[in-house]
Chain A
Amino acid sequence: MNNVQNKKRANKSSLPFFFTNSFVVSSIIIIISFVLLIVAFTFDIVPPILNRGIQPATFPKALLVLIIFLTLIVYFLSLKIPWKKEKKLPKQFFITLYNFILFVIIAKTLDFLLAISVLSFLISYFWGERRIIYLLLVSILFPIIVFIFFETILGLRFPPGIITNIYYN
């Protein structure tokens, strides 16, 4: 009985080839490489008198062809020895990714320091920190220390924004 159940489970998990990790990963690498290869064909061509050994596009083209070729080998080898199955990514991973996007938006539109603060708060919160003192420490005190450190010791000028403008003015 157990064997039958195991067999059923095995059949259920044996996905069509286009759903396997090796196929998806190899396809993504090959597609991106192919697009870049097309882009490489649009590079300017240098007249022979300025040409140093090979055209500027030749080296990247050779690399991309090599990557495509090696990826195909990796894929065909995976048919013989399948890649190990990865666990599903948890919710926190996607939240962290979304927070990165939010960080970019805030840093671009409002303020760099504010973006660091917001991201630190959100990551800490969504990763499970609920103690308000620690959240404030991570999202306000620490970014301010880092800001002052970089500003004073390295003489760094942070990009303008609603908070940094107040500081600089």
Chain B
Amino acid sequence: MENLYLMMAPLFSSKLLIVLFFGTLFGLILGVLPGLGPTTGGALILPFTMTLDPLSAIVLLTSIYCAGTYGGAITAVLINTPGTPAAAATCLDGYPLAQKGEAGRALGMATVSSAIGGIFSVVVLVFFAPLLAQLAYEFGQPEYFALAIFGLTMLASIGDGSPIKNLIAGAFGILISTIGKDFMTSIDRFTFGINELSEGIGFIPVVVGLFAISEMLTQSTLLDQVFKRITLKAVKLPSIDDYKKTWKTILRSSGIGSFIGVLPAEGGTVASLIGYSEAKRWSKKPKEFGKGSIEGIAGAEAANNAATGGAMVPTLALGIPGSATTAVILTGLIIHGVRPGPDLFREQPEFLYGIFGSMLIANILFFVFGFFGAKIFARITLVSNKLLWPMIFAVSVCGTYSLNQSLIDVWIMLLFGVIGFFMRRYGFSLVPVIIGLILGELVEGTLRQSLVIFEGNWLMFFTRPIALTFFILSFIALIFPLIKRKKIKND
């Protein structure tokens, strides 16, 4: 009961409500614009959050996360281009339905299922995050090491694209985290005599470079692209008949999305694809999929928004991000001096439940904004790339510079922009780099501390039941793509 009251606290704070209002609005705009999204937007807004108190800062970031994930659907339905990668599956049926003159119905279903998926995942978050945090009390250094390894292997296993390329990207991310002074012995590593690198490479220059600048370079290759826009008259609430057809799909996808979200992976993107394919598998009319099936839209959208709450579970309970955007949120927490993990649940419940409550409100807010304002948000896509991207560049550069007031950070951002562009071009996912970077210190630190505890005996890792369980799960995660491929071949 007390926790419920704490959850509702944001409703009684005018400051938090204003933050939620603008966060949701900003998130929707970011989601609608192809190439941008909650990850890039969150990274760009991070410096601004320094002017806010920790709760307001994280509320701002989480509302951007929830609304941005939904916003991608508007572009997916109206111009057949996912505003965010998580909305890719929405294009498959959203656009064909819009082409049939039912854009309002398609967006109505996307809005309703996104909101239900999002709210469902907040409930999962409220129940499971404290349980996981409780379990985490049993974790020592070896368990955290095994958990981080499990996170990275899961990323390779269920991430987008080739599992081996994902592993390379993850290892690259961890390698970046080793740049600078070794945190245990103060020995310089990969600094090449550059003093500014002694402190290591910051998270923000890498994220902004990999997502915003690399996207800018990608956009420079797509200038000839012409979007066919579908006119939207108004968003329509789904009919009773639509609800009858989709309620099972929405619930199933909400469950799938929340579960996938909890696993460290590409959160919404993978969740929406699985949600969509499961909706097709269970549908009475699977042949309608790809031709404008309302179930297809519901399946994809409920899943990608359900992943938002799910991804927050390991982020808050263990300090292990469940997705790229939650990695940004985790950075926000650290910048504001909040250390996620089991102690946070015991020491600052008002802070945590404030986040849970504001995520719930953000899901309701984007439903209202999406329902009444989708037509206006759709017009944002009319802003020409020739004007939009130079402006994003200006904000990226100033935002990156502002954190440490260091020009080196800006050069690093540009370098990672170029690296990110070529990684994407050749099929390497960027998300593992981000997760690797944020988990790098944890992986190395816990490994070394474990070895001190074990007096250098590596085999001792396997004597710890929780660590052993994570290692077995990591092994399964690694061989899972091989089994899947073999099964597809046999089928």
A residues apposed to B, CB below 8 Å: 21, 25, 29, 36, 39-40, 43-44, 46, 50-54, 56-57, 59-60, 63-64, 66-67, 70-71, 73-74, 77, 83, 86-87, 89-90, 92-93, 95-97, 100, 103-104, 107-108, 112, 116, 119-121, 123-124, 127-129, 134, 137-139, 142-143, 146-147, 150, 153-154, 156-159
The secondary structure that dominates the B interface is: helix
The secondary structure that dominates the A interface is: helix
A157 CA / B405 CA spacing, docked (Å): 7
Q: Is the CB of A71 within 8 A of B168?
A: yes
A87 CA / B220 CA spacing, docked (Å): 13
For the complex of A and B, 8 pairs with smallest distance between CB atoms: A53-B451, A53-B448, A120-B390, A129-B386, A56-B182, A56-B187, A52-B184, A96-B220
Chain B residues with Cβ below 8 Å from A36 are 175, 190
Q: How many residues of B contact A (CB 8 A)?
A: 61
Query: Is residue B185 contacting chain A, with contact meaning CB distance below 8 A?
Result: yes
Shortest distance in angstroms between A101's beta carbon and chain B's nearest beta carbon?
A: 9
Which of B62-70, B306-314, B407-415 is found at the contact surface with chain A?
B407-415
Q: Is the CB of B187 within 8 A of A46?
A: yes
Q: Is the CB of A70 within 8 A of B167?
A: yes
Most chain A CB within 10 A, of B172, B223, B422, is at B223
Query: Is residue B382 contacting chain A, with contact meaning CB distance below 8 A?
Result: no
Q: Is the CB of A70 within 8 A of B187?
A: no
Q: Is the CB of A123 within 8 A of B175?
A: no
Q: Mark B171-190, 1 if CB is under 8 A from A, else 0.
A: 11011001000101101111
Q: Is the CB of A156 within 8 A of B391?
A: no
Q: Is the CB of B444 within 8 A of A59?
A: yes
Which residues 398-443 of B sit at the A interface, judged by CB distance below 8 A? 398, 401-402, 405, 407, 410-411, 414, 417-418, 422, 425-427
Query: Is residue B50 contacting chain A, with contact meaning CB distance below 8 A?
Result: yes
What residue of chain B has the Cβ atom nearest to residue A116's Cβ?
B394
A95 CA / B390 CA spacing, docked (Å): 13
Chain A residues with Cβ below 8 Å from B188 are 43-44
Q: Mark B379-397, 1 if CB is under 8 A from A, else 0.
A: 0000011110111011101
Q: Is the CB of A92 within 8 A of B223?
A: yes
Query: Is residue B456 contacting chain A, with contact meaning CB distance below 8 A?
Result: yes
What residue of chain A has the Cβ atom nearest to residue B455's Cβ?
A53
Shortest distance in angstroms between A104's beta carbon and chain B's nearest beta carbon?
A: 6
Which residues 172-227 of B sit at the A interface, judged by CB distance below 8 A? 172, 174-175, 178, 182, 184-185, 187-190, 192, 216-217, 220-221, 223-224
Query: Is residue B449 contacting chain A, with contact meaning CB distance below 8 A?
Result: yes
